[in-house]
Amino acid sequence: MKEEMVAMILAGGRGTRLKSLTSKIAKPAVFFGGKYRIIDFVLSNVANSGINCVGVATQYESTVLNNYIGTGASWGLNGTGALTSILPPRETPDGASWYLGTADAIYQNIDWLDKTHCEYVVILSGDHIYKMDYSDMLKFHKKNGADVTIACIDVPLEEASRFGIIVADKEHKIQEFQEKPKNPKSTLASMGIYIFTYKLLRDALIKDHNAEKTDHDFGKNILPYLLNNGRSLYAYPFTGYWKDVGTIKSLWESNMDLLDSDCLLHLFSKDFKIYSADTCSRPQYISPSAEVKDSIINQGAVVKGKVIHSIVSNEAVIEPGAEIVNSFIMPGAVIKKDVKVNYAIVGSKTVVSNDKIGKDEDIILVND
């Protein structure tokens, strides 16, 4: 097959800041928004961008994630003219090795990329919540004659040290790249979305692999190397919704954002849909005694108590007298009779029987 641009999704991280939610599954497979998993957003972006060929590099606790993605059928990324490949670490004649970093994960799959005969590669993280048409970013890349284009978003100065920071001129050409700096020179943060001209990427990955001292990382090694060697790097400005749901608090915040009618994610728009695998759930049931306000209740949920400004996922049960406020209830969870849950995330299939869980703005995770 021959593709103009191929997508490579990095989905092998541990996600330790999500605590027990990622003890048995990879971060991209964590539930989100009542009916989704985190990986749904990047896969839907790929499909909506008209990209037909995608490789997904998995590693940590990947069984659930691999099974969920399958052939890519849920996102229309299978069949004639389309290809979804799960790319775990593998043993080769040179030996076996885990992915040693983001760049190494792509390096170990150069043979797969070569077979696509692509001109460009868009490299993506599998654990962010956002909508983006990568074809628009590719047009920007071509227009500027860029070697590399990095999607960027403006962040508050006090948060800038958490990100790779871009210093660019008025024409968006990158002058400097700072990886999680203590004293950031700008507030333009890398979103971890890169478009590379493939020939250049291939050469850079091989050089990085053969280097004596390297972390095999795009932010720490590949991008600074290219910038220092006179390559043309551009910053693609993004103004929509984007969230790295890497902590319990940020995961909770992003779920609560869905309930805001002004949320820039526009989850309920008929355009640029976010797709997910069908859970084949029964219809939702809301009893006459239930009270539901400003909430998302997914198919298969049974609500007999009170749900206020919360998200209740498929197959979850809210028993009579239970009160759910400002919380995210994952699939199959059961909130027992008269239990009060506030400012919390309740994990999948967790049974909550305590009298009261959570307090104002102190986000907690309850996960059996």
Same domain, 32 and 97: yes
> Would the CA dihedral through 65, 67, 72, 78 be positive or negative?
positive
- Given a cut of 90, whether residue 179 has pLDDT beyond it is no
Give the angle 75-258-354 at the CA atoms, nearest 5°: 105
Q: In the structure, what pLDDT confidence band is assigned to residue 256 with cuts at 50, 70 and 90?
A: very high
* Helix (H/G/I), strand (E/B), else coil: 218: helix
* Helix (H/G/I), strand (E/B), else coil: 304: coil
Tell me how far apart the alpha carbons of residues 41 and 49 are, in angstroms, rounded to a whole number. 12
pLDDT tens per residue across span 25-36: 999 999 999 999
> Would the CA dihedral through 97, 98, 102, 106 be positive or negative?
positive
CATH at 306: 2.160.10.10
pLDDT tens per residue across span 273-321: 999 999 999 999 999 999 999 999 999 999 999 999 999 999 999 999 9
* Number of Cβ within a 10 Å radius of residue 360: 8
pLDDT tens per residue across span 40-89: 999 999 999 999 999 999 999 999 999 999 999 999 999 888 999 999 99
Range(s) of the domain holding residue 305: 285-366
Same domain, 71 and 186: yes
Same domain, 250 and 122: yes
Q: Could you tell me what percent of the chain has a pLDDT over 70?
A: 100
Is 145 within the bounds of a domain? yes
- Strands (E) in 239-315, as ranges, are 242-244, 285-286, 291-293, 296-297, 302-303, 306-308, 311-312
Tell me how far apart the alpha carbons of residues 178 and 166 are, in angstroms, rounded to a whole number. 6
Mean pLDDT of the chain: 95
Is 262 within the bounds of a domain? no
Is 268 within the bounds of a domain? no
Tell me how far apart the alpha carbons of residues 315 and 348 are, in angstroms, rounded to a whole number. 10
Same domain, 142 and 217: yes
Q: Which two tokens stand for residue 321?
A: 């007298």
Same domain, 98 and 196: yes
**C-alpha to C-alpha distances, 86 to 23, 53, 66, 325, 331, nearest whole angstrom:** 21, 11, 7, 38, 25
Q: In the structure, what pLDDT confidence band is assigned to residue 1 with cuts at 50, 70 and 90?
A: low
pLDDT for res 211: 95
Same domain, 229 and 296: no
Same domain, 189 and 136: yes
pLDDT for res 368: 85
Is 329 within the bounds of a domain? yes
Same domain, 253 and 289: no
Tell me how far apart the alpha carbons of residues 116 and 114 are, in angstroms, rounded to a whole number. 5
Q: Which two tokens stand for residue 239?
A: 């103004």
Domains in the chain, number: 2
